[in-house]
């Protein structure tokens, strides 16, 4: 990286991508035809809310693109809705493509490079009815959709994510039942879904590269920092199982190392091997893990929020969504995966924090952690904070607020939080200074610049 002009400025390399992450179902509004719409109607949202207009992007994403431009980002992660593009199997909707073309052009006009994710939790009802990622036909279905979408949008975008968080999709759908199809303890399905998602990802990866020589293609993996609750054998084992079955399982397939147990993936490893141009990291928190004999459906593991950990807002049942909010975990993940020799992109990181009290510390700590890693020679292409405007937080509806900008879903009024100005200032500086911390995140000042006062 470039010479650091003064130890008091944590400068980033020229061309570093400062961005924000979003997803279609959470921001577009007016969604139809996806399994999440059905789930909403069936009462799946804990707050009883409906996504409704969300952030109204289907009608006016440009309003938020103006806000993004004012913050100064040069990369925005969004997703396209498969349910809009292919509402019936094999039948594509030109109007949906037209709208996405206008959205991508609007970003480019604002000097913001789009990164498009092709599957972010939601998909068409017809696909769900066929068994979604449990049916082997999923590979042909997903590839057909990807081929069509990338052919239509490829002149406006070259950064692609095939699938967001296969591990979260599979846990919430098949182990803890929080997301559709809301099944509990289906361990075999959990691994089979992951295997099929790996096959979908790999076929999509090659399809995109055939259409676009210069494409950058990967997927986003969610990482949780798992620590044993007590230093005793069973808890250590539980932490190891949690880490292997959640953090590493998909990565191990794509790295061509091994497939999950009893799934037969090892036969297909050659097909999925090395289908990533960068390593996409979503990371929010860390939990303590204890062995729990009463939880066979969760691999005999129980997750606990570390005592005195920073948590962000608690859910209505008093739980911390991600355990302890732990942006320092970026270091653990990057150093562990450096052996795969791919650049990194931090694709999600943030905190539910309506009052914006913890978010500045989270941003500052993430930036400092990435700077340390880059200084030590790690290749990090960019950072996407989650998220631009408060949005529909899946089963938590509008109760959990991750935005740099506050949203009133009823009136659609927006109010930037202080973190928006802080992030804007970091981007303008292309780095972090003690003055910025004094102004926006004084609680992080001494951790980051110990010599400052
Ligand atoms: C998901 C996002 C979600 C965020 C915060 C991630 O796991 O990809 O869609 O909003 O977490 O919960």
| Ligand 1 centroid from CA 97, angstroms | 24
Asked whether the predicted pLDDT for residue 346 surpasses 90, the reply is yes
Q: Which atom of ligand 1 has the smallest separation from the CA of 394?
A: 10
| Ligand 1 centroid from CA 158, angstroms | 23
10-448 fold:
TIM Barrel (3.20.20)
Taking residue 136's Cβ as centre, other Cβ atoms within 10 Å add up to 12
For the chain, give every domain's residue range.
Answer: 10-448
Asked whether the predicted pLDDT for residue 435 surpasses 60, the reply is yes
Q: Which atom of ligand 1 has the smallest separation from the CA of 393?
A: 10
Asked whether the predicted pLDDT for residue 453 surpasses 90, the reply is no
**Average per-residue pLDDT in the chain?**
96
Taking residue 17's Cβ as centre, other Cβ atoms within 10 Å add up to 20
Q: How confident is the model at residue 363 (pLDDT cuts 50, 70, 90)?
A: very high
Average pLDDT over residues 140-169: 98
Instruction: Name the nearest CA neighbour of 22 among 98, 140, 103.
Output: 103
| Pairing, β 279-291 against β 216-228 | parallel
- Residue of the nearest CA to atom 11 in ligand 1? 348
Share of the chain above pLDDT 90, in %: 93
Cα separation, 81 vs 33, in Å, equals 10
Average pLDDT over residues 235-260: 94
Cα separation, 352 vs 344, in Å, equals 24
Q: Which atom of ligand 1 has the smallest separation from the CA of 396?
A: 12
pLDDT at 8: 85
Q: What is the pTM of this model?
A: 0.97
User: Per-residue pLDDT tens for 297-320?
Assistant: 888 999 999 999 999 999 999 999
Name 336's Cβ contacts closer than 8 Å, sequence gap at least 6. Answer: none
pLDDT at 2: 45
Taking residue 448's Cβ as centre, other Cβ atoms within 10 Å add up to 21
Asked whether the predicted pLDDT for residue 1 surpasses 60, the reply is no
Q: How confident is the model at residue 223 (pLDDT cuts 50, 70, 90)?
A: very high
Name 419's Cβ contacts closer than 8 Å, sequence gap at least 6. Answer: 356, 359, 360, 363, 404, 440
User: Per-residue pLDDT tens for 164-221?
Assistant: 999 999 999 999 999 999 999 999 999 999 999 999 999 999 999 999 999 999 999 9
Please give the structure tokens belonging to residue 91. Answer: 């039948």
- Residue of the nearest CA to atom 12 in ligand 1? 393
CB-based pocket (< 6 A), ligand 1: 23, 26, 164-165, 168, 222, 282, 348, 386, 393, 402
- Residue of the nearest CA to atom 10 in ligand 1? 393
pLDDT at 7: 62
Region of residue 377 (left: phi > 0; alpha: psi -120 to 50; beta: else):
left
Asked whether the predicted pLDDT for residue 3 surpasses 60, the reply is no
User: Per-residue pLDDT tens for 85-136?
Assistant: 999 999 999 999 999 999 999 999 999 999 999 999 999 999 999 999 999 8
User: Per-residue pLDDT tens for 198-212?
Assistant: 999 999 999 999 999
| Ligand 1 centroid from CA 362, angstroms | 16
Cα separation, 45 vs 300, in Å, equals 27
Please give the structure tokens belonging to residue 116. Answer: 């498009």
Share of the chain above pLDDT 70, in %: 98
| Ligand 1 centroid from CA 261, angstroms | 27
Instruction: Name the nearest CA neighbour of 379 among 338, 336, 328.
Output: 338
Q: Which residue has the tokens 């969760």?
A: 298
Instruction: Name the nearest CA neighbour of 125 among 53, 60, 40.
Output: 40
Average pLDDT over residues 444-450: 96
Instruction: Name the nearest CA neighbour of 78 among 151, 25, 154, 24.
Output: 24
User: Per-residue pLDDT tens for 44-78?
Assistant: 999 999 999 999 999 999 999 999 999 999 999 99
pLDDT at 262: 79
User: Per-residue pLDDT tens for 253-301?
Assistant: 999 998 888 788 788 899 999 999 999 999 999 999 999 999 988 889 9
pLDDT at 260: 87
């Amino acid at each position: 990286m470039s010479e650091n002009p003064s130890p008091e400025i944590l400068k980033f390399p020229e061309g570093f991508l400062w961005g924000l992450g979003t997803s279609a179902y959470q921001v577009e509004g007016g969604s139809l035809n996806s399994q999440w719409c059905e789930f909403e109607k069936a009462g799946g949202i804990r707050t009883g809310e409906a996504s409704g207009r969300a952030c109204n992007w289907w009608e006016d994403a440009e309003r938020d693109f103006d806000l993004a431009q004012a913050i100064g980002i040069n990369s925005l992660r969004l997703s396209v809705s498969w349910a809009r593009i292919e509402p019936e199997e094999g039948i594509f909707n030109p109007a949906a493509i037209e709208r996405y073309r206008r959205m991508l052009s609007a970003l480019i006009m604002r000097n913001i490079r789009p990164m498009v994710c092709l599957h972010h939790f939601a998909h068409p009802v017809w696909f769900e009815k066929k068994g979604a990622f449990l049916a082997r036909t999923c590979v042909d279905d997903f590839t057909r959709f990807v081929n069509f979408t990338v052919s239509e949008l490829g002149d406006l975008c070259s950064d692609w994510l095939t699938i967001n968080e296969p591990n979260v999709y599979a846990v919430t759908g098949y182990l803890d039942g929080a997301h559709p199809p809301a099944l509990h303890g289906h361990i075999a399905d959990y691994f089979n879904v992951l295997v099929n998602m790996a096959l979908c990802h790999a076929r999509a990866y090659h399809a995109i590269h055939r259409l676009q020589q210069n494409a950058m293609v990967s997927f986003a993996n969610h990482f949780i920092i798992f620590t044993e609750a007590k230093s005793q054998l069973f808890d250590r084992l539980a932490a190891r199982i949690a880490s292997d079955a959640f953090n590493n399982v998909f990565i191990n397939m794509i790295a061509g190392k091994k497939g999950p147990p009893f799934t037969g993936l090892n036969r297909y490893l050659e097909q999925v091997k090395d289908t990533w141009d960068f390593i996409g990291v979503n990371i929010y928190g860390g939990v303590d893990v204890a062995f729990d004999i009463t939880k066979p459906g969760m691999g005999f593991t129980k997750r606990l929020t570390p005592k005195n950990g920073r948590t962000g807002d608690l859910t209505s049942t008093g739980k911390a969504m991600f355990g302890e909010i732990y942006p320092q975990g970026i270091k653990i993940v990057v150093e562990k995966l450096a052996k795969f020799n791919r650049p990194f992109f931090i694709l999600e990181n943030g905190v539910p924090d309506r009052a914006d009290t913890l978010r500045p510390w989270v941003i500052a700590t993430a930036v400092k952690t990435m700077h340390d890693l880059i200084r030590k020679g790690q290749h990090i292409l960019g950072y996407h904070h989650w998220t631009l405007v408060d949005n529909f937080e899946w089963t938590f509806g509008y109760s959990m607020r991750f935005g740099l900008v506050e949203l009133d879903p009823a009136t659609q009024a927006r109010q930037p939080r202080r973190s928006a100005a802080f992030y804007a200032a970091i981007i303008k500086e292309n780095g972090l200074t003690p003055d910025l911390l004094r102004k926006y995140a004084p609680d992080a000042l001494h951790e980051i610049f110990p010599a400052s006062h």
